[in-house]
Amino acid sequence: MSFYVDWISVAGADKDDILGKLGIEDTGKVVDWPPDSGYMWAVTPDGRIVVVADLYSSLVPAKLAMLSEGASLIGARAEGNYCTTSVWGFEDGSERWSVHCTGDDEVDLRDELVVEGSPPAALKPFFDESLKARDEDSNVSCFEQASQFAALMSGWGPETERGSELTFFAATGRKPSNGVKTAKPVNKLWFAAFVGVVAALILFQILRH
């Protein structure tokens, strides 16, 4: 389980808009997880846009908030070496809830999972099932359960069955788009000519008087 991965799942947003805000664009090349480098994206059957980054900690909370503007976003982070998983829920630019796995399997599952905010209703039945599974099999880890919850909420998860049927495409980097149109640079020769005409008109008016 040696992997570091961040991913998001967005509902109510356009794919190109999400990729543009991340500063990447679709290459049209089909890829499998894990990608060789960079990002990959897919669409779930219910229309959520999933973007996976092979760079751990590349999707920071401020970026998740920006990506969730006007949409609903699930952000997740999994680190296979230390067995930690985090899941965040954002709505329209604001974080609403989070679930974190401490990675300490020596303590009770109730203490391993740290829940903040107002989590979705799906958490309780999932948590109850996780506790039952843990009671029946002590080898069931918090990391596995948290990863399954992340996959349940986002529609995909690393090394889980959920989302295994998705078709992923590679995405490559480009200049990020923040939704603000930048002004085109002014041609220096035209600007110099304009300044020269204005100066000539001013000088003409002075000489007339």
Report pLDDT digits (tens) over 137-164: 766 677 777 888 889 999 998 888 888 8
Q: Is 92 within a domain?
A: yes
Global pTM value: 0.75
Provide the residue range defining the domain that includes 87: 4-183
First to last CA, the chain: 86
Query: Tens digit of pLDDT for each residue in 106-128?
Result: 556 666 778 899 988 888 888 88
Could you tell me if residue 205 is inside a domain? no
- Does any domain span residue 33? yes
Domain count, the chain: 1
Q: Residue 9's closest CA among 34, 45, 38?
A: 45
What residue type is assigned to position 44 of the chain? T
Pick from 152, 155, 150, 149: which is nearest to 168 by CA? 155
pLDDT digits (tens, 9 = 90+) for 175-208: 444 443 433 444 445 445 555 554 555 555 555 5
Band (82; pLDDT cuts 50, 70, 90): low
Whether 203 is in a domain gets the answer: no
